């Protein structure tokens, strides 16, 4: 299972958000699993078409994912994923 971590910005909306383990062979499958544990979280990280929102980055084993549209980057067992929601505004 992949270990998924989140930056503190998402905890504002999901106070119980903590590191979790999720099964999935792709980033998209992992995100689906995360949404099952924290219903509605995809509204904050994905666009309506399923692509990654502009101000969200996902790192897979310290590298930014390459497929922001379909989230098809392959995930191996024991990979670490960081979902990073940047803050914008002034």
pLDDT at position 90: 52
- Residue 33: phi and psi, rounded to 5, are -65, -40
pLDDT at position 85: 84
- Residue 9: phi and psi, rounded to 5, are -60, -35
Q: What is the mean pLDDT of each run of 10 residues along the chain (90 residues)?
A: 92 91 97 96 95 95 96 96 77
pLDDT at position 12: 86
Domains of the chain: 2-85 (3.10.20.30)
What's this model's pTM, rounded to 2 decimal places?
A: 0.90
Residue environment code for 55-84, b if the CB has 16+ CB neighbours within 10 A, otherwise e? ebbbebeeeebeebeebebebeeebebbbb
Q: Are 9 and 53 in contact (CB under 8 A)?
A: no
């Amino acid at each position: 299972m992949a270990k998924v971590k989140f930056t503190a910005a998402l905890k504002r909306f999901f106070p119980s958000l903590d590191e979790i383990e999720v099964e999935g062979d792709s980033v998209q499958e992992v995100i689906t699993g995360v949404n099952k544990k924290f219903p509605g979280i995809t509204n904050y990280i994905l666009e309506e078409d399923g692509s990654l929102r502009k101000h969200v980055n996902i790192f897979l084993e310290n590298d930014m994912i390459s497929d922001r549209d379909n989230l098809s980057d392959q995930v191996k067992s024991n990979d670490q994923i960081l979902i990073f929601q940047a803050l914008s505004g002034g």
